[in-house]
């Protein structure tokens, strides 16, 4: 191996290690920031109206309301991790919920309620399969056809919403498997089971992102697509699997919709898309791709749900809550941008390896 080749490899290792360190620090800072923000917001509303806000029923409501938007935000996060976005995730959730509700009511009407109940697991799996199918449609358009993610998912969002409207005739379909209704009402040591499901799904997704080859590929695809290609990573298969996972998370959110209220409609959660983007970015996800933290997204979900519950306790309007969302998002983005510029201006700490490389470069005349 020549000296120049060795120097190039050393430079590559230093750059890669420094980039990984920067990403890790950014993720940790985002998680720490969300912990502080959650504690502060909870304390503020607990002081302003302790009788209503600290009521056990209100705290349980926070745990019940968080999972559906949390799952949608996690689906948005995994898409953003590749440098893309999934605007269709709420529509996927609705179509999955409509699939389950329609199958259950149709079987109940045709073969009887007992038969429909015995097929509950099959019906639920059909809803999950629908989410994977719609996610795969996004993946094909993005990875195979080459349409940009924002345009792809904007188009499929309209398509899926239209399918849901035609399917339901614009009316709400009532009916869901009893197992979902039981899960929606169940608690474990006072904690809603739906919230525990969110934590379990988040833990599985964190393992997928941080501990599996697919997760590493997704992160590298978002951080540096060129490097990913030269590393032998197939952008086509990585993006396809990413949007299938996003569709599965959307389908899970649809099941949570049904667990909370045994009915499905085409326009449920129409404001969730923007809210999911707010939560995802607030939780420390880089909108340009490359790094994200599942814990940060979960904490951001809880923070905004606490703010929503606090505003309700103080009898503030939904419009004022929307303003608060925008202020939080803008403040976090401004803070991150200022912090990023400060880190770029500050020189990186010298190590023995970087000093040796710089010295050798000067000897070779490759560096002034």
The whole-angstrom distance between residue 263's C-alpha and the CA centroid of its chain comes to: 24
pTM of the model: 0.84
193 Cβ partners below 8 Å, 6+ apart?
Answer: 183, 184, 186, 187
Distance (Å, whole) CA 113 – CA 98: 18
Phi, psi dihedral angles at 262 (to 5 degrees) = -70, 60
Distance (Å, whole) CA 23 – CA 28: 9
CA separation, residue 166 to residues 69, 98, 131, 163, 174 (Å):
25, 11, 18, 5, 16
Helical H segments across the chain, by residue range? 3-48, 50-53, 56-80, 89-111, 113-118, 120-139, 149-168, 178-185, 193-211, 213-223, 225-230, 235-260, 272-282, 294-313, 318-345, 352-364
Neighbours of 368 (CB within 10 A): 5
Could you report the per-residue pLDDT of 96-154, keeping only the tens digit for each? 999 999 999 999 998 888 999 999 999 999 999 999 999 999 999 999 999 999 999 99
pLDDT along the chain (368 residues), means of 10: 43 42 51 87 92 90 93 96 95 96 93 90 96 97 95 97 93 91 91 95 95 92 89 92 97 95 88 90 88 92 92 86 82 74 60 51 51
pLDDT at 287: 86
Distance (Å, whole) CA 66 – CA 300: 10
Going by the DSSP 8-state scheme, the letter that residue 191 receives in this structure is: E
How many residues are given for the chain?
368
pLDDT at 299: 94
pLDDT at 45: 92
pLDDT at 121: 94
306 Cβ partners below 8 Å, 6+ apart?
Answer: 38, 41, 42, 45, 62
So where are the chain's domains? 22-347
- Domain 22-347's class? mainly alpha
Closest CA to 94 of 165, 176, 154: 165
Cβ pair 314, 48 in contact under 8 A: yes
pLDDT at 320: 85
User: 257 is written with which tokens?
Assistant: 């919709």
């Amino acid at each position: 191996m020549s000296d120049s080749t060795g120097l190039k490899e050393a430079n590559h290792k230093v750059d890669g290690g420094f980039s990984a360190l920067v990403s890790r620090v950014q993720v940790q800072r985002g998680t720490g920031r969300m912990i502080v923000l959650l504690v502060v917001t909870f304390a503020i509303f607990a002081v302003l109206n302790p009788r209503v806000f600290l009521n056990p029923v209100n705290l349980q409501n926070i745990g019940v309301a968080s999972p559906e938007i949390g799952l949608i935000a996690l689906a948005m996060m995994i898409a953003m991790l590749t440098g893309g976005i999934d605007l269709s995730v709420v529509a996927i959730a609705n179509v999955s919920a409509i699939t389950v509700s329609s199958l259950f009511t149709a079987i109940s009407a045709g073969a009887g309620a007992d038969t429909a109940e015995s097929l509950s697991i099959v019906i639920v799996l059909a809803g999950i399969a629908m989410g994977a199918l719609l996610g795969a449609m996004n993946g094909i358009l993005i990875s195979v056809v080459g349409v940009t993610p924002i345009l792809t998912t904007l188009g499929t969002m309209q398509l899926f919403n239209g399918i849901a409207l035609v399917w339901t005739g614009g009316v709400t379909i009532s009916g869901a498997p009893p197992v979902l209704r039981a899960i929606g009402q169940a608690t474990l040591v006072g904690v809603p089971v739906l919230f525990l499901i969110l934590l379990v799904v988040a833990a599985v997704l964190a393992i997928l992102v941080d501990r599996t080859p697919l997760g590493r590929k997704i992160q590298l695809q978002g951080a540096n697509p060129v490097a990913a290609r030269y590393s032998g990573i197939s952008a086509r298969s990585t993006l396809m699997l990413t949007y299938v996972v996003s569709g599965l998370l959307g389908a899970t959110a649809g099941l949570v919709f049904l667990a909370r209220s045994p009915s499905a409609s085409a326009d449920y959660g129409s404001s969730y898309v923007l809210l999911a983007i707010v939560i995802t970015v607030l939780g420390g996800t880089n909108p340009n791709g490359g790094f994200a933290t599942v814990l940060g997204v979960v904490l951001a979900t809880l923070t905004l749900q606490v703010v929503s519950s606090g505003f309700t306790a103080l009898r503030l309007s939904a419009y004022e809550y929307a303003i608060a969302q925008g202020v939080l998002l803008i403040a976090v983005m401004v803070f991150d941008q200022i912090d990023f510029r400060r880190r770029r201006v500050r020189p990186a700490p010298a190590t023995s390896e970087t000093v040796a490389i710089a010295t050798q470069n000067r000897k070779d005349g490759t560096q002034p």
